[in-house]
């Protein structure tokens, strides 16, 4: 149990090990968009997404920074909702007065994505398969339109316009959010001065990433209770498949060095060896299983599937080629891979940076040191905080 508690805090990334620094309690707000026409030409009515802001927008509307969250993340990037919260948002170590994303200087916006995974979290507002279709009065299920990154950022664009934002000093995103940050620069080049792409997947999802996302989806698709997404009115939900899918995303987001350091070959219960019974497990098995079960309680299986599809479809600018997609970019780009990442390897950043440079786009790389794997982009972002501060000053 000791190992699980330590592990779960890191996986959820809802704690910061730095002092809570924001001066105010964060208020979750909701943005409503009456109609979204997707890239695929489908129409979605009554879009709702939650968002948070930190700092103040200046009169010119050009001191804003947008944060795009990771696959299983939310808009809760910094601060606390109540003084009694266990911990602040996932990037609180770099967001706040005097921090690299300085709220004395910048107006920072973070929104829940469409088809956000955490649809059962009371602090999350999103529109997706679990939402009620106003035309039928029933949940969309798999009739919800397939989305791509462009659809996510279009909603963010409408939100930013409603807030009076004219220009972003930077758009920052981590993991799946890096896709959105890069797409912002390609789709709205006159609005974006800089891109900070943390633990990024490159300029398009390669074959390895496409199949990895499919492996995440398969436990849900193979769960008989999924019933092709028609489970909202059933007492039997695809919980087992969702838990297994979340176990896969959890271990794939880590590194062997981290697993060995934290768990090694320790048993879940010291005197109960796995060789004695099928019921006895290693500590890492217990921790990963419980992490998946914990996350499944606030997640939705169909939303998970839609997110994996967005990952698979990604190519910058939704263009026919990467070279075509990057042409509009005017922003300076900073790639921030994690040195131990075995999900989105550091080589993805290096390849992407070289492509941008060859096409006359300013690009640089700084790595997050450590052995935590992909998750270091969440938990250890402060290690490159000064690099981020310097990049924003140029």
Mean of the per-residue pLDDT values of the chain: 94
For helices 207-221 and 301-313, what crossing angle results, to 10°?
160
Exposure string over 14-35, b if 16+ CB within 10 A, otherwise e: bbbeeeebbeeebebeebebee
CA–CA separation, 15 vs 68, rounded Å?
18
- pLDDT at residue 12 in the model: 42
Q: Which residue do the tokens 């934290």 mark?
A: 262
Q: Which residue do the tokens 């599809």 mark?
A: 309
Number of DSSP helices (H) and strands (E) in the chain, helices first? 12, 12
* pLDDT tens profile 353-385: 999 999 999 999 999 999 999 999 999 999 999
Is beta strand 132-133 parallel, antiparallel or unpaired with respect to 29-37?
A: unpaired
Segment 1-24 shows an average pLDDT of 44
- pLDDT at residue 15 in the model: 37
Residue in 364, 367, 344, 346 with CA at minimum distance from that of residue 354:
364
Distance of CA 329 to the CA centre of its chain: 22
State whether the Cα torsion 347-348-349-351 is positive or negative: positive
* pLDDT tens profile 195-210: 999 999 999 999 999 9
Report the number of distinct structural domains present in the chain: 1
Exposure string over 309-344, b if 16+ CB within 10 A, otherwise e: bbbbbbbbbbeeebeebbebbebbbbbbbbebbebb
- pLDDT at residue 134 in the model: 97
Residue 347 sits in a domain whose CATH number is: 3.40.50.1820
Which range of residues forms the domain containing residue 374? 2-393
Distance of CA 302 to the CA centre of its chain: 17
CA–CA separation, 307 vs 119, rounded Å?
13
Distance of CA 206 to the CA centre of its chain: 18
20, pLDDT greater than 90:
no
* Tokens describing residue 361: 């786009």
* pLDDT tens profile 285-303: 999 999 999 999 999 999 9
Task: Report the DSSP beta bridge partners of residue 110.
Answer: 52, 67
* Tokens describing residue 349: 């950043």
Exposure string over 269-286, b if 16+ CB within 10 A, otherwise e: eeeeeeeeeeebbbbbeb
- pLDDT at residue 131 in the model: 98
Active-site positions?
Answer: 175, 341, 374
CA–CA separation, 391 vs 195, rounded Å?
10
* pLDDT tens profile 27-71: 999 999 999 999 999 999 999 999 999 999 999 999 999 999 999
Is beta strand 138-139 parallel, antiparallel or unpaired with respect to 132-133?
A: antiparallel
């Amino acid at each position: 149990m000791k190992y699980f508690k330590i592990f779960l805090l890191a996986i959820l990334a809802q704690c910061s090990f730095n002092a809570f620094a924001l001066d105010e309690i964060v208020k979750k707000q909701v943005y409503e968009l009456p109609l979204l026409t997707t890239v695929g030409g489908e129409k979605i009515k009554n879009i709702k997404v939650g968002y948070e802001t930190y700092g103040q927008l200046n009169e010119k509307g050009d001191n804003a920074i947008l944060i795009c969250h990771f696959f299983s993340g939310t808009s809760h990037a910094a601060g606390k909702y109540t003084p009694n919260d266990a911990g602040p948002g996932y990037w609180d170590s770099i967001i706040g007065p005097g921090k690299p994303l300085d709220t004395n200087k910048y107006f920072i916006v973070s929104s829940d994505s469409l088809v956000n995974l955490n649809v059962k979290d009371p602090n999350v507002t999103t529109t997706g398969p679990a939402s009620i279709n106003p035309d039928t009065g029933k949940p969309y299920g798999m009739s919800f339109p397939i989305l791509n990154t462009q659809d996510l950022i279009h909603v963010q664009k409408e939100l930013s316009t409603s807030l009076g934002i004219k220009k972003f000093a930077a758009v920052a995103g981590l993991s799946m959010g890096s896709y959105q940050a890069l797409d912002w620069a390609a789709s709205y080049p006159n609005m974006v001065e800089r891109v900070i792409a943390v633990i990024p997947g490159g300029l398009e999802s390669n074959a390895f990433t496409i199949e990895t996302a499919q492996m995440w989806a398969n436990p849900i698709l193979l769960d008989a209770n999924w019933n092709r997404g028609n489970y909202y009115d059933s007492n039997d939900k695809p919980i087992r498949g969702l838990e297994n899918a979340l176990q896969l995303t959890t271990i794939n987001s880590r590194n062997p060095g981290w697993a060995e350091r934290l768990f090694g070959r320790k048993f879940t219960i010291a005197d109960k060896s796995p060789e004695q019974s099928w019921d006895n497990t290693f500590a890492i098995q217990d921790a990963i299983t419980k992490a998946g079960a914990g996350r499944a309680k606030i997640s939705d299986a169909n939303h998970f599937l839609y997110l994996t599809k967005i990952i698979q479809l990604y190519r910058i600018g939704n263009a026919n080629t990467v070279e075509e997609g990057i042409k509009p970019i005017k922003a300076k780009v900073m790639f921030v891979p994690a040195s131990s990442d075995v999900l989105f390897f550091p080589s993805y950043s290096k390849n992407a940076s070289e492509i941008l440079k060859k096409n006359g786009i300013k690009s640089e790389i700084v790595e997050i040191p450590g052995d935590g794997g992909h998750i270091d982009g969440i938990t250890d972002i402060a290690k490159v905080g000064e690099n981020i501060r310097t990049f924003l000053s140029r």
